Structures are given as structure tokens and as C-alpha cells.
């Protein structure tokens, strides 16, 4: 085994869209293991939209190891709590190896028939965000109609499939290309979908959901939230998960301009952070693993191979280059 590790550090802060020049790859010696630690070889790394906010002042430290989700295998251990060969999830991402203490990792359950990468996509924080947004925040009921934005992304691809299992009636999604729109309706259980570039989102949503919706899972914010407020029925609910339309913006958002309709329609708009709902993880395993095994639920993923793909994969999130969860696979 090589005694060096490769890592990506952030070296400068972006204004607006980040670029590859904001990052640098570094090579370091793997330190000798202290008692009570183990060495993990990373197998899959996560790139996520929230990392854009980490790039700003107050977030990630410059020229330092980064935080993020990773899956790896224990390859050396000086603690009885971690056995060589065990698969773990941890938060020392964007590097090939990590020295971990047992209380900083989560052992992955053995779920036969479930691919390892699913622990970053539909069974990971991404799928958990969709599950929590639908079940705990919006409290989606059987027979209700749902709109999901960025529906062909990580959270959105999980949300459409979960909504079907939860008994939603009509599920509508927005995405950024004709191919993604087809993917939503042909593969992910969406009843209708539109390309948000084609016209103002309010018009597109009115056409796709002419009778309105009960619930909106918001991944985009801005014009999508405005369209959803327009389409929601009285006493509808918004589970506000993210606002990717504004993460790179240097201007305050121009939409939603109809926020006061939240009052007129008695809507409930509630934001949430998945990290406050980690107690739902076991429930998600129990609910979804049998459906993944049976093939009814697909862990929808775009997998880039090789450590040198990390920065490009992250930047690709803001150009719509992923269908499903964007993941980087390391090793053979
Ligand atoms: N609250 C939480 O705890 C939590 C947890 C996880 C994720 N999130 C949030 O949930 C959202 C989805 O996360 P994810 O991990 O599943 O990422 P994702 O949807 O896979 O994110 C990338 C996708 O967002 C879309 N997008 C990018 N820029 C856009 C823009 N300016 N306007 C409209 N769409 C744009 C693109 O899809 P198209 O090609 O379809 O436009 C792109 O493929 C993000 O806002 C994220 O921050 C929140």
C-alpha cells in the first residue's frame, strides 16, 4: 500500500461561480497510526451543493483538509473498535486516505443486494434529505400531489421514487434538459416533468400541474419557489431543502415575489437540515433497502472515476452535469 495520500485543499475564495483555480491537489505522507486510530482507504467521495457555501468566508479553512462525506474501508487499525476490512462512512472527504478515531465514523450495515455507493446516494444523506423532507417536514399523505425541483438531481431522484412508495397521487418534477425530463418520467416515477429553461417556471408548472399541488420539495429556491407558491393549494406545505439557484449569485434573489400568498393560502413553509434528523437513518434503511433489492427503487447516480475528478465533479453540479447523485469513485 502506498504511504502517501492525495488530498484537495481550497486555496482561495470565489466570487460567484467557483473555478478549478480555487482548489489545489496536495500529496502528503500518511502519518504513523497512533493508538486508538485506524487508517481508512476511501472508495467513494461525495460532492454536494452545500460545499459552495463552505467555500465562503467562515466556511472551509484555506490550505487545509476539507470536510465532506466519504465511504471507505479500514486498511490498518490500532483500535479494537475498528477491524481491518470493515466499511465505514466518515466526514474526511476529498482525500484518498483518512486517519480516523472510532467515534468519528459510522459502520455501514451489511445490506445484501445494495450497492456500496447507495450509502452516499439514496440511502445516504441525500436520500435521507428527501425522506425527511417528505415524511417529517411536509408530511406527505397518500393521494396528495407533489412538485419537486432539481428533480433529476440527488435529492430529487430519491424524492420521486420515495413519493411513489408513500402513495403520492401525481408527482411533477423540474429539471434542466430534455434528456433529464425523459429520465424523470421514464425511469423515476414522475407523472409529468418540464425543462425549467423552456419558459418562466410559473407557466411551466401551471401547465404540468393545472389543478395545483399539495406539497413542494424545494431544492432550487428563487423562481421555482415562486412558481410553487403559485401552484400550491390552500393549506399546502413547502419542505425547503435547498436553494441552489442562489448559491453562486452575487445579487439578492429576485424571487419569490409572491411570498405573502403564504398567508392568503394558509401555506406552511418549513426549512430543515438533514443533520438534525439523523435518527431517521435506520427507518430509511428499513423502508428502502427491500425496494432497492427488488429493483423497484434505483440508486440514481452519476459516478466519476478517479481522484483527479473530484473538483470537476463538484463544479459540474452547478452546470447540471449530474443525473442523480454526483459521486466520485476511487481505486480500481
Ligand atoms: N437541507 C439539507 O439538509 C440538505 C441536504 C442535502 C441537499 N440539500 C440541498 O438540496 C438541493 C439538492 O441537493 P443535491 O445534493 O441533490 O444536488 P443536485 O440536485 O444533484 O444538484 C445539482 C443539480 O441542481 C440543478 N441546478 C444547478 N444550478 C441550478 C440553478 N441555478 N437553477 C436551477 N437548478 C440548478 C442542476 O440540475 P438541472 O440540470 O436539472 O438544472 C444540477 O444537476 C441543493 O440545494 C442542496 O443544497 C439540502
Q: Is 272 in the pocket of ligand 1 (CB under 6 A)?
A: yes
Residue 283 falls within a domain, yes or no?
A: no
pTM of the model: 0.98
Ligand 1 atom closest to Cα of residue 248: 31
Confidence of residue 260 (pLDDT cuts 50, 70, 90): very high
Q: How far is the CA of 242 from the centre of ligand 1 (A)?
A: 7
Residue nearest to atom 31 of ligand 1 (CA): 245
CATH label of the domain that carries residue 158: 3.40.50.720
* 189 and 225 together in one domain: yes
Residue 290 falls within a domain, yes or no?
A: no
* 227 and 319 together in one domain: no
* 28 and 148 together in one domain: no
Asked if residue 2 has pLDDT above 80, the reply is no
* 172 and 235 together in one domain: yes
Confidence of residue 170 (pLDDT cuts 50, 70, 90): very high
Q: Is 17 in the pocket of ligand 1 (CB under 6 A)?
A: no
Residue nearest to atom 18 of ligand 1 (CA): 153
CATH label of the domain that carries residue 319: 3.90.180.10
Q: Is 176 in the pocket of ligand 1 (CB under 6 A)?
A: yes
Q: Is 153 in the pocket of ligand 1 (CB under 6 A)?
A: yes
Which residues are registered as beta bridge partners of 304? 328
* 56 and 84 together in one domain: yes
Q: Is 50 in the pocket of ligand 1 (CB under 6 A)?
A: yes
Domain boundary among 259, 275, 291: 275
**What is the count of structural domains for the chain?**
2
Residue nearest to atom 29 of ligand 1 (CA): 245
* 325 and 187 together in one domain: no
Q: Is 219 in the pocket of ligand 1 (CB under 6 A)?
A: yes
Question: Would you state the pLDDT for residue 42?
Answer: 98
* 115 and 180 together in one domain: no
Residue 281 falls within a domain, yes or no?
A: no
Question: Would you state the pLDDT for residue 332?
Answer: 57
* 142 and 270 together in one domain: yes
How far out from the chain centre does Cα 230 lie? 26
What is the average per-residue pLDDT within 161-179?
98
Residue 285 falls within a domain, yes or no?
A: no
Residue nearest to atom 41 of ligand 1 (CA): 176
* 310 and 175 together in one domain: no
Residue 286 falls within a domain, yes or no?
A: no
Q: Which pLDDT tens digit goes with each residue over 183-205?
A: 999 999 999 999 999 999 999 99
Q: What percent of the chain has pLDDT over 70?
A: 99
Residue 195 falls within a domain, yes or no?
A: yes
Confidence of residue 176 (pLDDT cuts 50, 70, 90): very high
Range of 304's domain? 4-120+299-329
Confidence of residue 331 (pLDDT cuts 50, 70, 90): confident
* 115 and 161 together in one domain: no
Q: Is 160 in the pocket of ligand 1 (CB under 6 A)?
A: no
Average pLDDT, the chain: 97
How far out from the chain centre does Cα 309 lie? 18
Residue 164 falls within a domain, yes or no?
A: yes
Q: Is 156 in the pocket of ligand 1 (CB under 6 A)?
A: yes
* 103 and 132 together in one domain: no
Q: Which pLDDT tens digit goes with each residue over 268-278?
A: 999 999 999 99
Q: Which pLDDT tens digit goes with each residue over 32-42?
A: 999 999 999 99
Q: Which pLDDT tens digit goes with each residue over 96-124?
A: 999 999 999 999 999 999 999 999 999 99
Question: Would you state the pLDDT for residue 15?
Answer: 96
Exposure letters 186-208 (e unless 16+ CB within 10 A, then b): ebbbbbbbbebeeeebbebbeeb
Q: Is 51 in the pocket of ligand 1 (CB under 6 A)?
A: no
* 146 and 92 together in one domain: no
Residue 289 falls within a domain, yes or no?
A: no
Asked if residue 148 has pLDDT above 90, the reply is yes
Amino acid at each position: 500500500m502506498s504511504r502517501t495520500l492525495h488530498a484537495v485543499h481550497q486555496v482561495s475564495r470565489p466570487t460567484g461561480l467557483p473555478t478549478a483555480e480555487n482548489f489545489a491537489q496536495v500529496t502528503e505522507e500518511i502519518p504513523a497510526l497512533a493508538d486508538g486510530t485506524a487508517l481508512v482507504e476511501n472508495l467513494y467521495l461525495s460532492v454536494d451543493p452545500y460545499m459552495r457555501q463552505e467555500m465562503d468566508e467562515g466556511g472551509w479553512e484555506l490550505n487545509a483538509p476539507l470536510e465532506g462525506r466519504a465511504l471507505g474501508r479500514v486498511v490498518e487499525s490500532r483500535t479494537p473498535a475498528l477491524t481491518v476490512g470493515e466499511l465505514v462512512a466518515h466526514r474526511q472527504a476529498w482525500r484518498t486516505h483518512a486517519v480516523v478515531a472510532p467515534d468519528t465514523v459510522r459502520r455501514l450495515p451489511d445490506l445484501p443486494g445494495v450497492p456500496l455507493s447507495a450509502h452516499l446516494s439514496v440511502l445516504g444523506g441525500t436520500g435521507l434529505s428527501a425522506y425527511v423532507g417528505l415524511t417529517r417536514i411536509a408530511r406527505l399523505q397518500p393521494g396528495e400531489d407533489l412538485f419537486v425541483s432539481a428533480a433529476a438531481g440527488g435529492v430529487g431522484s430519491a424524492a420521486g421514487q420515495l413519493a411513489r412508495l408513500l402513495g403520492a397521487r401525481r408527482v411533477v418534477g423540474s429539471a434542466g434538459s430534455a434528456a433529464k425530463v425523459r429520465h424523470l418520467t421514464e425511469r423515476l416515477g414522475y407523472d409529468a416533468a418540464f425543462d425549467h429553461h423552456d419558459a418562466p417556471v410559473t407557466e411551466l408548472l401551471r401547465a404540468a400541474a393545472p389543478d395545483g399541488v399539495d406539497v413542494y420539495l424545494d431544492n432550487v429556491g428563487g423562481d421555482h419557489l415562486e412558481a410553487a407558491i403559485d401552484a400550491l393549494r390552500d393549506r399546502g406545505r413547502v419542505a425547503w431543502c435547498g436553494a441552489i439557484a442562489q448559491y453562486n449569485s452575487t445579487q439578492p434573489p429576485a424571487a419569490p415575489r409572491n411570498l405573502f400568498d403564504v398567508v392568503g393560502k394558509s401555506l406552511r413553509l418549513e426549512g430543515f437540515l438533514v443533520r438534525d434528523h439523523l435518527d431517521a437513518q435506520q427507518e430509511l434503511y428499513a423502508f428502502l433497502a427491500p425496494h432497492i433489492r427488488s429493483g423497484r427503487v434505483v440508486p440514481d447516480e452519476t459516478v466519476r472515476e478517479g481522484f483527479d475528478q473530484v473538483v470537476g465533479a463538484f463544479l459540474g453540479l452547478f452546470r447540471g452535469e449530474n443525473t442523480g447523485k454526483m459521486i466520485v469513485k476511487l481505486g480500481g
